[in-house]
Amino acid sequence: MIKSILKFSVLKIKGRTITFDEKVRDIDLLSLLFTQGFAVLRGLLRFRKVVFLGNNVVIKAKRNVKFGKGVSIGDYCTLDALGHEGLCIGAGSSIGSFSLLKVSGTLKSLGKGINIGCNVGLGDFTHIGGAGGVEIGDDTIAGAYLSIHPENHVFSDTNELIRNQGVSRKGISIGRNCWVGAKVTVLDGSIVGDGCVIAAGAVVNGVFPNHVVVGGVPAKILKEIKNVK
C-alpha cells in the first residue's frame, strides 16, 4: 500500500516512475513519506506550489527564484538569487543537502544568473556561483562537492592588490544528460557538450564536444563515447 502511494506521488509530482529494492521495508517508506510530506508543506507555505524544501533552507531574493514543479531542495541549503537573471531550477530537479547556489558574490557588480534544467540531480555540498552565468542542461547528474565558478580575478598588475583589479566573466555551460563525478571543479569559460562524463576530481577549464569522457587536472578528453552495436 505504502509503495503504491509513493509510486503514484512520484509519477504525479516528478513525472517519472520509481522502483524499490525488495529489502526496503514498509517502515522505511513510511518514514520517507512523512519526511517528504513535511517538505512539501514547507514548499507550499513559502512558494504556493509543489516544491520539496528540506530543513533549515535559506532563500534570499525570493522574487528572483523560479522553481518548476516537484523541485527538491535538501536540508541546510542556501539559495541566493540576487542578480540580473536570478535562479531558475527546472521541474523534477533536486539539490543535495548543504549546498550553496549564489548568483552574486558582491553588491558592486551583480551576477548574471544560474539556470538549471529539468530532472537535474546535484549531490550534497554543491557550490555554484552565478557571476558570469551558469547553464546546466536537462537530465544531468552530479556527485557531491561539485564546484562551479563562472568568474576569474584579474591579476596582471603586480603593483596593485589582486582583490582591487576586478574580475573577468565568460560564463559556464554544461550540456544535457551529463554525468559529473564527485569533487569536480568547473572554471570560468568552460563549455561541456551533451552526453559527457566528467571523472571525479577533474578540474574543467576548456571547451569539450558532445559524448566524451574527460578527466584530470586540468581535464582533457580521455575517450569518445560510442554506441556499442
Catalytic residues: 153
The set of cell numbers assigned to 160 is: 596593485
- Letter string b/e over residues 200-228, b meaning 16 or more CB atoms within 10 A of that residue's CB: eebbbeeebeebbbbbeeebeeeeeeeee
- Write out the three cell numbers for 81: 538569487
Element (H, E) at 41: helix 26-47
- Grid cell digits, residue 60: 534570499
Name the grid cell of 106. Answer: 558582491
Query: Which residues, other chains included, contact 172 with Cβ-Cβ below 8 Å and sequence gap of 6+?
Result: 132, 133, 134, 135, 148, 149, 150, 186, 187, 188, 189, 190, 191
Q: Which three cell numbers stand for residue 59?
A: 532563500
Burial 29-47 (b: 16+ CB within 10 A, else e): beeeeeebeebbebbeeeb
